[in-house]
Amino acid sequence: MSSEYSTDTITALSTPMGSGALSVIRISGSGAFAAVLPHFRSSKGEIPTLERFRKHKRLTGLISDEERIIDEVVLSLFFAPHSYTGEDVVEISCHCNPFIVREIIRLLLKRVRLAKPGEFTQRAFFNNRMDLTRAEAVGDLLNARTELSHRAALSQLEGNLYRKIAGILEELTSYRIELELEIDFVEQDLSELDVKKLRSKLEELAEKLQKLLQSGKEGMIIRDGLKVCLTGSPNVGKSSLFNHLLATDRAIVTPVPGTTRDYLEESLSLNGYLVRLYDTAGLRSAGEEVERIGISRTHDLLQQAARVIYIEDGEEKKEEYLLNNFLQNDERVIRILNKADILSQEKIDEYKERGFLICSVKTGEGIERLKEEVTGNLDLGKEAIDSGILSNMRQVEAVERSLKGIDNALVSLDKELGYEFTAFDLKVASEALEEVIGKITTDDILNRIFSEFCIGK
């Protein structure tokens, strides 16, 4: 764990700035109570002492700048270590007026400093109020935009991922102890290490980590969204489908080829998943300079997309240019025939035989089937999410290192390289998992994680 931890008292607005019913200003640190006390009067006009201040959990009164009253407030008092940060905490609930909020914070800054992004949660981590997976879940919960992303963040916040990692770590530790005993007391009269049993147990751990890694791929999709790219020749109905899926006229639709010069990006929820949908410039070999730039950007998006919806409208010789070496035999591609409402049955049957999904944006035919195809092979059920899944690249990379450590340990056992090598490999595996929960980490990693939080959280 990092040793870089500031213990001074901090404050920040913990609710969005604007006009409304209430704002909450949070103060945390050993000087939290003392920072508020000089500016507070009870509803009866009394000036409470610091000792009396500490005996209450909630106080109603006035915040004043000397004789000038700023607002009537409610103070919620939390005592270390039983608070969000593990320190003394005061939360000031005032009227949600930007002027009032600024005036109160101005008074507080005479004795405390403004918090950095994520610093309250960072202190909670340092004070052992939560492990690093729970701390990351706080940010995920604030940014959750679908039912599944909310459920995944809540599961992680409740400690389900931590418990899963901690269980694997406990097993790894027990195997490391066995190996260390064998190494240190090889000449003592101890029972011989059962290598076959150890190997079997390590294989079981590797399988658990492999399943955890698989959950991480979908966990990142749940958290960050599934990137889906609409592509095809000009005028096949990409923008119309884009608008239909969004249920709004977001993209301009005209009969003129090349209307979409640059890509458009919007987000929507499909079957509980966050989908980042891209409408791209129609692909063709000709076109003026601006259109060519748009086509170049489309190619870049196609390389990054998790799904590609390739659209045709029944006209001849379009697939030859578009389904080039880049898209041929690509499992990401969903091929659809649009404008089925104006095509002959013979043409529709021809496209069905070629594996196309038959759709009509105008009538809605095939659209629900298309939505199912987009999220069809994402099979993380609610049970799996509730049991604890990986949700970001940091966690995935750490578990990959842990799995590699176990794989190396199995190789060292098979090749009889010596228990010292096996023990070292398991140490590498353990340390990687300890990084996931924050038992060991670096300042750089912590700063990167908490800097993505909003100020006040």
Q: Which amino acid is at 248?
A: T
Tally the domains of the chain.
3
Residue whose C-alpha is closest to residue 118's, from 150, 146, 140: 140
CATH at residue 70: 3.30.1360.120
What are the structure tokens assigned to 405, written together?
Answer: 């450590």
Residue 150 covered by a domain: yes
Residue 373 inside a domain? The answer is no
pTM metric for this prediction: 0.76
* Interatomic CA distance for residues 437 and 448, integer angstroms: 15
Backbone angles phi, psi at 218, to 5 degrees: -80, -30
Question: CATH number for the domain including 419?
Answer: 1.20.120.430
Residues spanned by the domain of 102 = 10-130
Residues 28, 55 share a domain: yes
Q: For residue 330, what are the contacts with CB-CB under 8 A and spacing of at least 6?
A: 308
454 is a domain residue = no
Q: Quick check: 220 and 391 in contact, CB under 8 A?
A: yes
Is the peptide bond between 81 and the residue preceding it cis, with omega within 30 degrees of 0?
yes
For residue 405, the surrounding DSSP H or E stretch is: helix 393-414
Tens-digit pLDDT profile for residues 88-136: 999 999 999 999 999 999 999 999 999 998 899 999 999 999 998 998 8
Q: Does residue 365 form part of some domain?
A: no
Are residues 204 and 240 part of one domain? no
Query: Are residue 249 and residue 312 in the same domain, yes or no?
Result: yes
Same domain, 253 and 302: yes
Tell me the pLDDT of the chain (457 aa) as tens digits.
444 557 899 999 998 887 778 999 999 999 999 999 999 998 777 777 778 777 888 899 999 998 899 999 999 999 999 999 999 999 999 999 999 999 999 999 999 999 998 899 999 999 999 998 998 898 888 888 888 888 899 999 999 999 999 999 999 988 888 887 777 655 555 456 778 888 899 999 999 999 999 888 888 888 888 899 888 877 788 888 888 888 765 554 445 454 545 678 888 888 878 888 888 876 655 555 555 566 667 777 777 788 888 888 877 555 455 555 456 667 788 888 888 888 888 888 888 888 888 988 888 888 889 888 888 777 667 788 888 889 889 999 999 999 999 999 999 988 888 888 988 999 999 999 999 998 866 666 677 677 767 777 7
CATH of the domain at 274: 3.40.50.300
Specify if 65 maps to a domain. Answer: yes
| Separation CA 114–CA 132 (nearest Å) | 23
Q: Is the domain of 232 the same as that of 292?
A: yes
Beta bridge partners of residue 229, listed in sequence order? 278, 308
Q: Considering the domain boundaries, does residue 369 fall inside one?
A: no
Rounded Cα gap, residues 130 and 113, in angstroms:
24
Exposure pattern of 429-448 as b/e (b: 16+ CB <10 Å)? bbbbbbbbbbbebeeeebee
> d(Cα 76, Cα 155) in Å, to the nearest integer?
27
Domain boundary among 107, 130, 153: 130
In whole angstroms, what is the distance from residue 281 CA to residue 292 CA?
Answer: 9
Instruction: State the amino acid at position 234 in one-letter form.
Output: P
> What is the spatial distance between Cα 134 and Cα 449, in angstroms, rounded to a whole number?
12
Instruction: Specify if 449 maps to a domain.
Output: no
Paired with 41 in beta bridges are: 62
Residue 154 to residues 120, 334, 435, Cα–Cα distance (Å)? 19, 33, 21
Q: Is residue 77 located within the same domain as residue 185?
A: no
Number of CB atoms found within 10 A of residue 345's CB: 8
Single residue among 96, 130, 164 that ends a domain in this structure: 130
> Which tokens belong to 321?
């240019």
398 in the same domain as 315: no
Residue of 65, 21, 73 lying closest to 43 (CA atoms) = 73
Rounded distance between C-alpha atoms, residue 315 and residue 343, angstroms: 10
Query: 125: phi > 0 → left, psi -120 to 50 → alpha, else beta; which?
Result: alpha
CA separation for the pair 441, 42 (Å, rounded): 45
Same domain, 100 and 125: yes
Is residue 355 domain-shared with residue 229, that is, in the same domain? yes
User: Which two structure tokens, joined as six digits, stand for 327?
Assistant: 């898209």
Burial label for 416, CB within 10 Å (0-12, 13-18, 19+), is: exposed
3 by DSSP, 3-state: which? coil
Query: In this structure, what token pair is assigned to residue 287?
Result: 């076109």
107, 34 contact by CB (below 8 A): no
Q: Are residues 229 and 356 in the same domain?
A: yes
**Where a domain ends, among 360, 376, 396?**
360
Question: Does 37 share its domain with 159?
Answer: no
Residues 157, 237: one domain?
A: no
Question: Tell me: the pLDDT tens digits for 288-299?
Answer: 555 556 666 777
Inter-residue contact 95 to 40 (CB < 8 Å)? no
User: Is 410 contained in some domain?
Assistant: yes
- The pLDDT score that the predictor gives to residue 254 is 47
